[in-house]
Amino acid sequence: MSTERLLAVALLIGSVVLLLQFGPRAIRSWQIYAGTGKRRQQDAHGAAPPAPPSVVDRADALDALGYRRLGETRLDLPTGVRFAWIVAAEDAQSYAIIVPTPRGPGLTGVYSAWTDGTWLCTMHPYGEAVDRGTLRVRIVPTSLGDAVVAHRAGLQQFMQTHGPPRPIRTMRDLLALDADYRTRFGGSRLLPITMRIVTPAIISAVIAALSLVLLVISRP
C-alpha cells in the first residue's frame, strides 16, 4: 500500500472516531438552536418536580435579597423537558430564572425589559456576555448577591434613558416577556455556544470526506 493510501486510511479512521464522539452532541445542540426563536416556556404549576437543593439554596438567597417565588416553567427541548424556577423582585422591576445544572451550584439569570425592546440581563456564575443594540448581558462570577447588586445598578442606569421597566408580577407577565426575549434574541444568544459544539463535528466530517477522496485518487 502506498504512503498516500496509508495516510488516507489513518485520517479516515481518526476522523470517523472523532465524528462518532462529537456528532451526537453537535446534532442535539443544533436542534436546540434551530428552534429557539419559536420555542416557548410554559407554566409548570403542579407539574414541576421538587426543586433540587441547588435551586432551593439560590431561591433562599434571592428571597433574602427581595425576590419572591413566582412559579415554575417547563421547556420542551429535543433532548427532553427542562424545568426552571422563577422568582420576581418585590418592586416588580426584574425577575430571575434559576436552572439546575449537572455540575456546580446551578445557573441564574436576572432579567429586566423595557417597552422599547431593550433588555438587561445579569448571569451568575457564567454565561456569554453581550453588549449590542438593545441587549446587554453581563456575567458576575463572584456571588449571587453581587449579581443582584450589579443588576440593580444597571437598572438605575437604564431607567435614566428608557424609563421604568415592564413590571413582572404574575406568571402571565413572565411568559409574555419570555416570548418577547426569545423572538428578539434567542437564536443569536445561542449561536456562539452552538458553533463551539458543532465546529469539531464539521471539521471531522470534512477530514473524513477528504480522506475518502484521497483514497479514490490514490487507488492503483
Asked if residue 193 belongs to a domain, the reply is no
Q: Are residues 48 and 10 in the same domain?
A: no
Q: Are residues 44 and 126 in the same domain?
A: yes
Residue at 1: amino acid letter: M
Dihedral angle over CA of 149, 152, 157, 162, nearest 10 = 160
Domain of residue 164: give its range: 40-188
pLDDT at site 37: 58
The predicted model scores a pTM of 0.74
Q: Are residues 80 and 184 in the same domain?
A: yes
* Average pLDDT of the segment spanning 67-78: 88
Q: Are residues 131 and 78 in the same domain?
A: yes
Asked if residue 73 belongs to a domain, the reply is yes
What is the C-alpha to C-alpha distance for residues 120 and 135, in angstroms, rounded to an integer? 6
Asked if residue 144 belongs to a domain, the reply is yes
Query: pLDDT tens for residues 143-183?
Result: 999 999 999 999 999 999 999 999 999 999 999 999 898 88
Is residue 186 pLDDT above 80, yes or no?
A: no
CB 157 within 8 A of CB 141: no
Q: Are residues 102 and 174 in the same domain?
A: yes
Asked if residue 159 belongs to a domain, the reply is yes
Q: Are residues 18 and 112 in the same domain?
A: no
CA 71 to chain centre: 20
Higher-scoring residue by pLDDT: 77, 151:
151
Counting Cβ atoms within 10 Å, is residue 10 exposed (0-12), middle (13-18) or buried (19+)? exposed
Q: How many domains does the chain have?
A: 2
Q: Are residues 135 and 210 in the same domain?
A: no
Asked if residue 162 belongs to a domain, the reply is yes
Asked if residue 53 belongs to a domain, the reply is yes
Q: Are residues 129 and 90 in the same domain?
A: yes
Is residue 69 pLDDT above 80, yes or no?
A: yes
pLDDT at site 198: 72
Q: Are residues 28 and 54 in the same domain?
A: no
Q: Are residues 80 and 165 in the same domain?
A: yes
* Average pLDDT of the segment spanning 48-72: 94
Q: Are residues 161 and 90 in the same domain?
A: yes
CB 213 within 8 A of CB 21: no
pLDDT at site 143: 94
At residue 201 the predicted structure's pLDDT band, cuts being 50, 70 and 90, is: confident
Q: Are residues 119 and 17 in the same domain?
A: no
